[in-house]
Amino acid sequence: MLQDKIKQYTEEIEQFNPQTSADVENFRLKFLVSKGIVKSLFEEFKAAPADEKRVLGKVLNDFKQLAEGKYQQAQEQFGSTGQVSQAKAEGDLTLPGDGFTLGARHPLSLVRKEIVEIFKKLGFIVAEGPEIEDDWHNFSALNFPPEHPARDMQDTFFIKKQDGNDIALRTHTSSVQVRLMEAGKPPFRAIMPGRVYRNEAISARAHCFFHQVEGLYVDENVSFADLKQTLYHFVQELYGEGTKVRFRPSYFPFTEPSAEMDISCTICKGAGCQLCKYSGWVEILGCGMVDPNVLENCGIDSTKYSGFAFGMGIERITNLKYEIRDLRLFSENDVRFLNQFQTEII
Ligand code: PHE
């Protein structure tokens, strides 16, 4: 009897409790395909006596809905057929995992860290300041005369004028010197890493932003000899024992006397190569004794205190260390470049 069969299968379906996606598939094959039970019961229904058809038709339709509903529910639980979903349900540990790549520190961060570590051992603290500066901290307090060309639009990104005061992106980290000295009392012994901006056309050798580390030491009786010895030590630590240094007279508004420091070429060791333009020397930083005007501008008695300052571009130091010849590589974020610096895991 059709009705008995429906009752029996209804019980079976109600008790159906799949454990794997294979069970779900077997259910479909048994009940729902064109030669399955649901279809065959509909075939039988055609032959049923006419007076039973009304009641039986409803029972059969309910049964069909039950079978389809159960299948849909089971499918949601296990996904459709196939290897991957089966693995998902059962947690197949033999499937290959999703790969992921480890990040690496940016070469500029690596070198900045190295520079900071060397000076920390000499008792320098790390100080930082804002990248958006006013005229006072970037220029005036640092003894730049009002008509100095560095204030010119060609070098500086000006943001807006406020009450006649220019607001600009700092052109060097020397502005942090001023902030540090204004905020405290000597002695000062600090290094100041940070990003700086200059209005220059971007090429292999120049960029509109780069990174500097500035150093400042102010105390009683600080001399040029202290400056030389500190920087000599720094170079030995960074580029290795035996690296030679030389100082050439130079000019900065905020130091007097001023100098530029060269080191023996790290590539050819002084023999002459393309990098050092066959001179055997490469310039790495500017330095000098803090101009007494700067000390006074920051409220420090220049008859009692003296100091030295130096500033270097981190890109330049990094180029010499890793022989990088195009500044643009530092900001392009090309992983083929960055992956070469997997020196430590973050
Ligand atoms: N601020 C100078 C520059 O950007 C570098 C410098 C710093 C020179 C401190 C002397 C002393 O070129």
pLDDT at 125: 97
pLDDT of 346 over the 50 cut: no
pLDDT band of 251, cuts 50, 70, 90? very high
Listed in sequence order, the residues at least 6 apart from 156 whose beta carbon sits closer than 8 Å to its beta carbon are 138, 150, 166, 168, 169, 171, 198, 199
Given the CA of residue 173, which atom of ligand 1 is nearest to it? 1
* DSSP 8-state assignment for residue 98: P
Average pLDDT of 37-59? Answer: 89
Residue closest by Cα to atom 7 of ligand 1:
311
- Stretch 142-152: mean pLDDT: 84
pLDDT of residue 272: 84
Annotated binding residues for Mg(2+):
256
The number of helix segments (H) and strand segments (E) in the chain equals 13, 10
- The beta strands (E) that lie in 265-305 are given as 281-290
In this predicted structure, what is the pLDDT of residue 343?
63
* Rounded alpha-carbon distances, angstroms, from residue 255 to 71, 138, 143, 329: 84, 14, 9, 33
Lowest mean pLDDT among 165-169, 226-230, 238-242, 248-252: 165-169
What pLDDT band is residue 335 in, cutting at 50, 70 and 90? confident
pLDDT at 112 over 60: yes
Q: Which of 180, 214, 224 to mutate to test the pocket of ligand 1 (most atoms within 8 A of CB)?
A: 214
- Dihedral angle computed from the Cα positions of residues 174, 179, 182 and 185, in that order, rounded to the nearest 10 degrees: -80
pTM: 0.71
Whether residue 187 contacts residue 218, with contact meaning beta carbons closer than 8 Å, is answered with yes
- What pLDDT sits at residue 293? 97
CB 311 near ligand 1, within 6 Å: yes
Mean per-residue pLDDT, 35-43: 91
How far is Cα 278 from Cα 276, in angstroms, rounded to an integer? 5
Give helix 50-78 / helix 2-15 axis angle, nearest 10°.
Answer: 20
